[in-house]
Chain A
């Protein structure tokens, strides 16, 4: 949602741009959020066709109403131990920029929580974790009802090669 600033608004651009609706979901003990505009569809876990010679977190592809969509396991991508898929496990189909245009990528998460409407004031910048560059993949942190949600920049997350150290950063 592009923010339209006028001269009278001293609000920080960053916070304004990040405000909006987020879909929150769980991975292990953490709650994450991604912008709703990036979400195309949510579905329960279904059969995935494995593709050979792919990194561990790339699970394969699924048939999404005639389209072949790649699916990655976000736990594995972040370096968390893999978990068995349960009734709650979901695939969130996201739409992110690829090399030439937008592409669909599904991410497997432990469970989907809710949609939160976050105002700029509720979002804080990611604390400085030191040298770790992984912080650039986060839009910020939000505190809602006493719980902290980690807001992901899903574009960057899905285009990054190796995010396994994100896990250590979060603990």
Chain B
């Protein structure tokens, strides 16, 4: 779509005028000027056939007319409208991405297909693993057949021939299987799973193409196709029950024995397919809605705290305001709830990994899951996938012993890996537990000394020793061929969890096993905060961590040799952190008697924060401070306070841990 250069000129002039207009500090100049300019742009656009652009100009004009002239709302509307016009310009100028595939179908169809296809692949994988454990499960067999059948159909419709071809071949195998014309051997399971992997690679490639990113299509895997075809030519076995036949052919082929144990029980919590009515919503729209709900909370808070409003005393106004506050809060919560998804599917993905790894490592591991229905923010679940996989891999590589060793220790031959999710104190806790070797304190210490992380004579409590495995460079021996293609140390895992404002804890017993606990916030976006003041600054203490608050007396605070300041809180001595010292801020008073103590608990430790005053309670929308402040410790993010200022949200665990790092400023 071409456009006359004057159109671009007009839009840019308008943008400039608006920027300069604000600088002049005279407030927004008379709206007539803007309206005239927008009108002009609109007609130019329509003349050039750029209807979309014309509509945008129209919409901006209307929003200006609706707002009070000279108000900040008007200014904001104007800016937003101009920004839209500008970005339209930029988009139009970009040459259309050269698509190597000539996809005759429109992108929306393709993205729908990708979504659906991924769901089918996830579901069929789970069912294939079920078949592997329980070869007599005909329901699962039918389900896998249907999945490939559907994939074949969809791919054909979109002219994705390679996908269609493979899906068709596998579908044929499964058709024969469900008609008892062939048996699903362990080798067959492998082939089917590999086919699913191949299809996934295709989906990833197509996704990149949709995003206009370079990507090369997966080459046709002739070997795989042959192996699929090879399954077909297996001699038809008598119509005996599939279980026996499978054992028979396994004995014949001398292949790896089917799991020696009786068919495993299904995972502790099979995902129930509750038939709820649901709609598919574009996640971009959903995110936008959640953002707007957040903005609304901020705006509503600022209105509520406006000193002008406090002067108005009519009860009706305040009643309505309360109503507004209530509704805003409800809306916020509802919007946030829409972002929550259950962890079940994430745990299911681990099932495949566990299966593959147990083959590769020659270990027998049973995966159990609990709490599949526990919900977490969508983004958190997505970001958890990698760390979770690393930990499962670690567990299986190093934690769990080979069957022979386990027998020698009189442990059950089948090792147990448990993935469990549950709520605890305003957080979601995800546990990864194995009944393997447990962490060997001595070995860790030896390795740490070798790497120069600690000195030979250091006496460290257990907790700190186990923490060493998270040190960068502490990677254990080279990982076995990994399924996902990535493999790094636990430090990457921890950083991933901390990015989500979560924590990792370790519980372990030598010889018995290890549990990793991932403690994660329920949502990334909102917390109840206690606003405190230190000098001119405002900080927010997450309310769920606050235990009590009080004004110290003469005998409350003591300085203990080599331990620093401590406070006597109902008979217990707790460490004291003077916030002003930590952040290098000028307090109103350094005298504890004129300050307030906030007792907070983080990471199962309690400590006291010394602040100037308590400002109040506020529900705040957490704003990430961004990459600029990546190195700042002790601050988890920022929030807009009622008076429009920015308050810094405290990261209590970090604060307490780095107690010794007082600010130099």
Which residues in A have some Cβ–Cβ distance to B below 8 Å?
A: 1-2, 21, 23, 36-37, 39-44, 47, 49-54, 58, 60-63, 65-68, 70, 72, 90, 98-99, 103, 105, 112, 115
Contacts and interface: CB of A to CB of B under 8 A. Distances in A.
Interface of A is mostly: strand
Contacts of A53: 631-634, 663
A52 B257 CA distance: 61
Contact of B12 (A21, A49, A99): A21
A39 B294 CA distance: 25
A103 B582 CA distance: 29
B49 interface: no
Nearest to B291: A66
17 contacts: A1-B93, A2-B94, A21-B12, A41-B22, A42-B23, A43-B22, A49-B645, A50-B537, A51-B632, A51-B635, A51-B638, A53-B631, A53-B633, A63-B644, A63-B646, A68-B623, A90-B23
A164 B67 CA distance: 45
A67 B25 CA distance: 22
Contacts of A68: 623-626, 638-640, 646
Contact of A42 (B22, B298, B585, B624): B22
A157 B173 CA distance: 60
Nearest to B646: A49
Interface in B10-28: 12, 15-16, 19-20, 22-23, 25
Interface residues of B, number: 47
Interface in B644-660: 644-648
B635 A52 contact: yes
A107 B623 CA distance: 20
Contacts of B16: 21, 36, 115
B316 interface: no
Given A50-B585, A98-B626, A115-B20, A66 B640 contact: yes
Contact of A61 (B625, B663, B665): B625
Contacts of B665: 52
B629 A23 contact: no
Interface in B264-302: 294-295, 298-299
Contacts of A99: 627
Contacts of A41: 19, 22, 79
B634 A52 contact: yes
A21 to B, nearest CB: 7
B629 A70 contact: yes
Contacts of B294: 66
The 5 closest A-B pairs by CB, nearest first: A49-B646, A68-B623, A70-B628, A52-B583, A68-B638
Contact of B19 (A42, A51, A61): A42
Contacts of B626: 68, 70, 98, 103
A68 B628 CA distance: 12
B584 interface: yes
